[in-house]
Structure 1
Amino acid sequence: MTTEEQNLETARAYLAAIEGGATGEALACWFTEDVVQEEFPNRLVPNGARRGLAELLEGAERGQKVMQAQRYEVLSAMAGGERVALEVQWTGTVAIPLGSLPAGGQMRARFGVFLDFRDGRIAAQRNYDCFDPW
């Protein structure tokens, strides 16, 4: 298996872990210790965000309180060297009311996710999230 194929497989498994509710070490194992995640401005994070490993793990814990379920459908994926680019259709079911959504309501978004790998782990992640109106 080539590096590109391994990284694509890892990227898909990483999304499956998030979908399954991974937190703590079950989530940290996908990242390098010095990972940087950038989320560019969107409806939920209007100013964007830049997070390290600790902030990613804290966010996953907070997310468990807000989201009842998540589904990630990879629409397209490509890899070159140590970089993977994914187009993802995301559907989330909220556990609590959010904006005009009642508890149990669904949110949808298209994500552009770019992952940089080092030694088989994610060293950088950039998200471009486009949410459907709700």
Structure 2
Amino acid sequence: MEKLRSYLITVKLMPPVTEYGPVDGRKYTLSNMETDESRILIIDTKYAMNVGNVRSEDILTAEWRPKLGEYMLTGKVYISGSEHDEMVALNRYNVLNDNLPEMIQNIIKGDLALYKHVPWLLDAPIYIQYDSHIPRYNVLKHCGTPRRYLI
């Protein structure tokens, strides 16, 4: 997994999702393509896990969810399951942790039109769950707000 480059992103809005909404249940799937260095961001009401030519271990999923009357963007990255030993998990954790800010930026900038219609989302918190069978890498990380990633 190499450093992500924002300019190689393809964004697909899948109906019924539009640039205006819906916000509730708006789901993002950011994947690395196997064939080249490009990434694909699919915005839908369900996760797009079966997209052809993507590396399934390099997927960031995220969703807008209401909580206590406000929205939060919650996401998940896969670190390791029982098929990986601790060294592989550590390597994946370090690489994904380094790439996470740019991955989040790809999601935020890929859906930029949404923030023109619902600008209060710019100040909503972002939480990313690192999914691992090893407790030390199975953590929840606060990643700021979308406004931070517009720079």
Same fold by TM (over 0.5)? no
Q: Greater share of strand residues, 1 or 2?
A: 1
TM-score w.r.t. structure 1 length?
A: 0.30
TM-score w.r.t. structure 2 length?
A: 0.28
- Larger RCO: Structure 1 or Structure 2 (Cα < 8 Å, ≥ 6 residues apart)? 1
